């Protein structure tokens, strides 16, 4: 992966690399070690209660099994550090070029994989994540213009052993799910890095978390960004307190989709009726 720092970042080159190159780049030096420690502490605390799996594939388990892969959703509600990360000026500059100046955020969550935790199936990300049924998407849809950007902010060392994200460079050039014959595991490279490093990639590239065979946790903050008109995955405005929204910065308001109000009731009579029902 090409590597950049805040001083060497080249937004136009990165846009080309995401679309026509490997599909992923590494950014370093954007966050302080205090920010990374604070974010990690919150995620460890928030995910502690998920220590047992009680259901598997829809069925209740008699006894809870150790849960070695944990998600923490709705991170903006869990600490100001996450707003600072989501709207980092370097991300905003690159993503305004990649997804359009009014792009939004689809989700901000943590993925914590404990030692011995499982990997994932190779996949593509939202809004393409159910592209194993391409007929549910528009005819001819392809990845030639981006409707997704993914950011992973590493909170632990991402090594081969700890299960650093695997991806197939260039696979974003053809929008489809990988199949057995693609030999994902033979062709993949890893998004290796240290705490504070950031993997920025186009989620059409085939990728997955790998099993954690190390003796330490492997956590990352995963942020999904979208063009302004794609329905986000998390309903963040509904999940956040009113005072968070009222005092949010202009960039966070944009990321929450508040600048692009559709769908709206445009029929005045119906709008009056709807207001009366509240
Ligand atoms: O945590 C990782 O390495 C990747 C996670 C991922 O791709 C996902 O959850 O969709």
**Higher per-residue confidence, 53 vs 72:** 72
Query: In 3-state terms, what secondary structure has residue 62?
Result: strand
**Higher per-residue confidence, 14 vs 276:** 14
Query: In 3-state terms, what secondary structure has residue 25?
Result: strand
Which DSSP letter does residue 169 get?
T
| CA dist., res. 42 & res. 24, Å (int) | 27
pLDDT at position 278 over 70: no
pLDDT given for residue 273 in this prediction: 87
For atom 1 of ligand 1, the residue with the nearest CA is 209
CA of 273 relative to ligand 1 center, distance in Å: 43
- Average the pLDDT over 248-276 and give the result: 92
- Average the pLDDT over 148-176 and give the result: 98
pLDDT at position 59 over 80: no
pLDDT given for residue 57 in this prediction: 60
pLDDT band at 60 (very low <50, low <70, confident <90, very high): confident
Cβ-based neighbour number of residue 262 at 10 Å: 8
pLDDT given for residue 235 in this prediction: 97
Query: Which segments of the chain are extended strands (E)?
Result: 2-5, 24-28, 52-56, 59-66, 69-72, 104-113, 149-154, 166-167, 189-190, 198-201, 207-208, 218-226
pLDDT at position 27 over 80: yes
pLDDT tens digits, 175-208: 999 999 999 999 999 999 999 999 999 999 999 9
CA of 189 relative to ligand 1 center, distance in Å: 14
| Angle 103-76-149 from CA coordinates, rounded to 5° | 35
pLDDT at position 149 over 90: yes
Percent of the chain at pLDDT > 90 equals 88
pLDDT given for residue 64 in this prediction: 64
Query: Across all residues in the chain, what is the average pLDDT?
Result: 95
Domains of the chain: 2-277 (2.60.120.620)
CB of 111 shorter than 6 A to ligand 1: yes
pLDDT at position 58 over 80: no
pLDDT at position 1 over 90: yes
pLDDT given for residue 121 in this prediction: 96
| CA dist., res. 45 & res. 26, Å (int) | 27
Q: Give which of 130, 204, 119, 195 is closest to 158, Cα–Cα.
A: 195
pLDDT given for residue 266 in this prediction: 92
- Ligand 1 atom nearest residue 163's Cα: 3
- Ligand 1 atom nearest residue 218's Cα: 1
114: Cβ–Cβ under 8 A, 6 or more apart, which residues? 68, 69, 70, 212, 217, 218
């Amino acid at each position: 992966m090409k590597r950049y720092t805040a001083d060497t970042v080249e937004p136009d080159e990165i846009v080309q690399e995401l679309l026509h190159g490997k599909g992923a780049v590494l950014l370093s030096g954007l966050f302080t070690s205090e920010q990374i420690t604070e974010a990690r502490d919150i995620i460890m605390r928030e995910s502690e209660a998920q220590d047992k799996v009680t259901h598997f594939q829809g069925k209740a388990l008699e006894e809870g099994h150790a849960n070695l892969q944990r998600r923490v959703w709705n991170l903006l509600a869990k600490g100001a550090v996450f707003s600072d990360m989501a709207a980092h000026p370097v991300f905003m500059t690159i993503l305004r070029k990649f997804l359009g100046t009014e792009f939004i955020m689809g989700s901000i969550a943590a993925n914590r994989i404990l030692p011995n935790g499982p990997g994932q199936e190779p996949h593509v990300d939202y809004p393409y994540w159910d592209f194993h049924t391409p007929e549910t998407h528009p005819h001819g849809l392809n990845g030639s213009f981006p409707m997704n950007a993914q950011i992973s902010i590493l909170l632990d060392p991402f090594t081969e052993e700890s299960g650093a994200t695997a991806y197939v460079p260039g696979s974003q050039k053809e929008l489809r799910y990988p199949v057995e014959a693609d030999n994902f595991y033979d062709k993949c490279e890893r998004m290796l890095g240290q705490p504070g490093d950031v993997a920025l990639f186009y989620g059409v590239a085939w990728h997955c978390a790998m099993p954690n065979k190390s003796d330490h946790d492997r956590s990352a903050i995963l942020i999904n960004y979208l063009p302004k008109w794609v329905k986000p995955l998390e309903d963040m405005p509904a999940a956040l307190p009113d005072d968070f929204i009222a005092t949010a910065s202009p960039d966070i308001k944009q990321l929450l989709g508040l600048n692009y109000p559709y769908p709206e009731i445009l029929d005045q009579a119906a709008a009056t009726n709807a207001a009366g029902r509240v």
